[in-house]
Amino acid sequence: MTMLRGRKIIIGITGGIAAYKIPFLIRLLKKKGAEVKVVMSPSAGEFVTKLTLATLSGNAVHSDFIRDDHGSWNSHVKLGLWGDLLIMAPATANTLAKMANGNCDNLLMAVYLSARCPVMVAPAMDLDMYRHRTTRSNIALLQKDGVVVIPPGTGELASGLSGEGRMAEPGIILGNIESFFKKSLPLSGIRALVTAGPTYEPIDDVRFIGNHSSGKMGISLADALNRAGAEVTLVAGPGCPDTQTGGIHRVNVRSAEEMRKSCMKFAPAVRLIIKSAAVADLRPVHIAKGKLKKERAPAHLALEPTADILAELGKRKKKGQILIGFALESDDGIRSARAKLRRKNLDAIVLNSLQDKGAGFGTDTNKITLLTRNNKTIKFELKPKAEVAKDIVNFVIKTLGK
Ligand code: CTP
């Protein structure tokens, strides 16, 4: 799965021949869905053009404190705060020395000193420079400060010498960035199953019983869990929108029975299940073949209950598994949501009330109350569903002790 979708990465290019490989790195990062901004040291432009880098990254490339256009300044602070990661590649011996000493003689160094995000370096230089004890001690100092070093490779160098010092290949740098994000995310290593949207229960080949669920809440939850590093399987009912992040394993279903089968298939392997789908409670007993002629339509539709998927997941819950359900109630509903939590063996239930304006089906916002197994009641304000999803994910992170 890709950890990089939507991640903001600043590449700091300094003046080494390996700068010519950075356009390839930008392409790889962009293909994975990352956003890239490039800042160059003044001499980096001797090796690779701003035009190439700006075209591939889709963003303006800066190297000076002052903009050439109207004498305004390039805010190193803004740039530094923008990134989720700053990677200096290639990092020359000179730049490593400046980083180790806090020198600030160009825009890139100012960005480095302003950045609050993690920093990586991909050193590149000739072998004797790389072996030099001053370079070694500068690298050691940076590592002590938390800078992650992607070691250079060994091979032919631009000088004609052969040995250690050539910048790690773009593919290797990409792998390092991906595993870095994976390790630093709170839910990395956690598998999650999320259900979203309505289910449609067929009357005949063209008609169904359904409900107004848009699937937005479940989709936002899948995205929020994915952003937090979880490996997400999403079982989506009909009409659910696309997720915003990549790497989610999505299974589209229509009826409650299809959703049940998918859930039972994936549940045993996951640590966390969030069942936000609005499963139809009832389905027609008989499904007519083709399209029922209205003259022959029955006056009454015989209905039977669908399987309660959440209750079944509660019965089969494994040790350590966390099961979260949703409850949509037409009154304030705390009592009946608590009863549902107990009846279905849940760890928490997310209550939304139809009484609250802007909450529930179809809207872009929601107002929830989280009720926990150990009798906690946590109320949240009305917020966009993406924010509500973050609140629920933060609750999960705490529950898992992450
Ligand atoms: N749910 C389910 N399978 C069903 C019905 C509901 O898994 N056949 C799940 C939903 O995904 C949701 C939770 O149960 O997480 C609550 O759904 P809701 O319809 O509010 O609860 P019910 O148990 O159906 O209770 P009631 O209709 O009596 O309010």
For the Cβ of 356 lying below 6 angstroms from any atom of ligand 1, the answer is: no
pLDDT band at 2 (very low <50, low <70, confident <90, very high): low
CB of 312 closer than 6 A to ligand 1? no
- Residues 282 and 302: their CA atoms lie apart, in Å, by 10
Nearest C-alpha to atom 13 of ligand 1 is from which residue? 326
If one residue of 211, 304, 310 were mutated to test the ligand 1 pocket, choosing by the most ligand atoms within 8 A of its CB, it would be: 310
Q: Which atom of ligand 1 is nearest to the CA of 309?
A: 7
- Write down how long the chain is: 402
pLDDT of residue 184: 82
CA of 325 to the centre of ligand 1 (A): 8
pLDDT, residue 114, reads 93
With bands split at pLDDT 50, 70 and 90, how would you rate the model's confidence at 69? low
Residue nearest to atom 8 of ligand 1 (CA): 308
Q: Please give the pLDDT value at position 70.
A: 67
Cα gap 139→133, rounded to integer Å:
10
Question: What pLDDT is recorded for position 1?
Answer: 46
Name residue 83's amino acid. G
Sole residue written with tokens 């060994």: 154
Using a 6 Å cutoff on CB, does residue 274 contact ligand 1? no
Beta bridge partners of 40: 13
Ligand 1 centroid to Cα of residue 47, in Å, is 62
pTM for this prediction: 0.74
Residue 204 has pLDDT above 60, yes or no: yes
Q: Residue 311 C-alpha to ligand 1 middle, in angstroms?
A: 9
Mutate to test the pocket of ligand 1, among 281, 282, 328 (most ligand atoms within 8 A of CB): 281
Is residue 279 within 6 Å of ligand 1 at its C-beta?
Answer: yes
Strands (E), 41-98: 85-91
> Is the minimum distance from the CB of 340 to ligand 1 under 6 angstroms?
yes
Phi, psi of 158 (to 5 degrees): -60, -25
User: Is residue 306 lining ligand 1, measured as CB closer than 6 Å?
Assistant: yes
Closest ligand 1 atom to 281 CA = 8
What gap in Å lies between CA 230 and CA 241, rounded to an integer? 20
Could you tell me the two tokens for 302?
């015989």
Q: Give the model's pLDDT for residue 296.
A: 81
Centre of ligand 1 to C-alpha 46, Å, is 64
Residue 68 has pLDDT above 90, yes or no: no
Instruction: Please name the residue ranges forming H helices in 236-354.
Output: 256-266, 309-315, 334-343
The per-residue pLDDT for 159 is: 86
Q: Considering only residues 307 and 116, tell me which one the structure prediction assigns the higher pLDDT.
A: 307
Per-residue pLDDT reduced to its tens digit, 304-315: 999 999 999 999
The catalytic position among 103, 211, 252, 345 is 211
User: How confident is the model over 143-187, as pLDDT tens digits?
Assistant: 999 999 999 999 888 888 888 899 999 999 999 999 888 888 899
Burial class from Cβ neighbours inside 10 Å (0-12, 13-18, 19+) for residue 191 reads: middle
- For 350-400, how does the pLDDT look when each residue is reduced to its tens digit (9 = 90+)? 999 887 787 777 788 999 999 999 999 999 999 999 999 999 999 999 999
Could you give the CA distance from residue 32 to residue 217 in angstroms, rounded to a whole number? 25
Please name the residue that has the structure tokens 């800066």.
62
195: closest CA among 137, 239, 252, 114? 252
Peptide bond before residue 90 is cis, with ω within 30 degrees of 0: yes
For the Cβ of 281 lying below 6 angstroms from any atom of ligand 1, the answer is yes
Nearest CA to ligand 1 atom 21: 327
Of the listed ranges 94-103, 267-276, 332-341, the one predicted with least confidence? 332-341
Q: 73: CA distance to ligand 1 center in Å?
A: 57
Q: Does ligand 1 lie within 6 Å of residue 351's CB atom? A: no
Query: 259 CB under 6 A from ligand 1?
Result: no
Q: Tell me how far apart the alpha carbons of residues 281 and 283 are, in angstroms, rounded to a whole number.
A: 7
For residue 105, which of 54, 43, 16, 149 has the smallest C-alpha distance? 43
* Token pair recorded at residue 209: 């019983």
For ligand 1, atom 12, which residue shows the shortest CA distance? 326
Q: Is 323 in the pocket of ligand 1 (CB under 6 A)?
A: no
* 310 touches ligand 1 (CB under 6 Å): yes
What pLDDT does 372 receive?
Answer: 97
Beta strands per DSSP E along 240-347: 249-252, 272-275, 282-284, 303-305, 322-329
pLDDT at 55 over 70: yes
CA of 310 to the centre of ligand 1 (A): 7
Sign of CA dihedral 158, 161, 165, 166: positive
| 176 annotated active-site | no
Q: How far is the CA of 327 from the centre of ligand 1 (A)?
A: 7
Is residue 276 scored above 60 in pLDDT?
A: yes
380 to each of 227, 234, 372, 390, 391, how far by Cα in Å? 21, 25, 14, 12, 8
CA 7 / ligand 1 centre spacing (Å): 36
Q: Is the pLDDT of residue 94 over 90?
A: yes
Provide the pLDDT confidence category of residue 5 given band limits of 50, 70 and 90: confident
